[in-house]
């Protein structure tokens, strides 16, 4: 997609240095999220039988709580960056564990290091970091739709209606 693709308001356009991938600004952090959550290896292990019994009646509740835990980790890392809270520890093959590993390794400098994780002009740092958190939820839902109940829908993410 090119840098002039309309956003929510047809008069708004992306800054020249921002490109879109699957409808999201392609920031360094979002790239790392995609690598962590959407790789073929992750698709086979995330929320597999080691995470929870596939016949358990509360399996979707466990996955929902797991996504919430991963969200809390990335949200609190940004909102309390001065304290640098540790991410929530996660169970094996969980989104919370993937987020924990991401925030302790590949993205340990996020959200503060603007060299490794730049914010495109004219966005404000706080607003763009919150945007990246929203994208993290989208990436996790993509992973859920890809490997979760119902399998991989052919047209995920859905395209924007004309």
- pTM score of the predicted model: 0.78
Q: To which H or E segment does residue 130 belong?
A: helix 125-147
Q: Looking at residue 44, what is its pLDDT?
A: 81
Measured in whole angstroms, how far is the alpha carbon of residue 161 from the centre of its chain?
23
139 inside domain: yes
What total number of domains does the chain contain? 1
Each residue's pLDDT tens digit, 78-111: 998 778 788 999 999 999 999 999 999 989 999 9
85 inside domain: yes
Q: Looking at residue 14, what is its pLDDT?
A: 54
* Listed range (38-47, 64-73, 86-95) with the worst mean pLDDT: 38-47
Q: Kindly report the CA angle at 123 between 114 and 129, in degrees rounded to 5?
A: 55
36 inside domain: yes
Omega before residue 122 within 30° of 0, cis? yes
50 inside domain: yes
8 inside domain: no
Domain that holds residue 50: 20-147
4 inside domain: no
Q: Looking at residue 66, what is its pLDDT?
A: 96
15 inside domain: no
């Amino acid at each position: 997609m090119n840098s002039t693709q309309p956003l929510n308001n047809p008069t708004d356009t992306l800054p020249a240095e921002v490109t879109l991938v699957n409808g999201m600004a392609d920031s360094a952090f979002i790239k790392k999220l995609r690598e962590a959550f959407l790789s073929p290896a992750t698709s086979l292990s995330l929320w597999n039988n080691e995470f929870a019994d596939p016949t358990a009646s509360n399996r979707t509740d466990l996955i929902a709580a797991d996504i919430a835990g991963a969200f809390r980790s990335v949200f609190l890392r940004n909102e309390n960056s001065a304290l640098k809270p540790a991410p929530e520890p996660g169970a094996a093959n969980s989104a919370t564990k993937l987020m924990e590993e991401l925030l302790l390794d590949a993205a340990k400098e996020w959200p503060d290091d603007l060299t490794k994780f730049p914010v495109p002009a004219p966005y404000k740092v706080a607003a763009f970091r919150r945007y990246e958190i929203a994208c993290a939820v989208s990436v996790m839902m993509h992973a859920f739709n890809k490997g979760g109940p119902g399998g991989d829908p052919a047209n995920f993410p859905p395209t924007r209606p004309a």
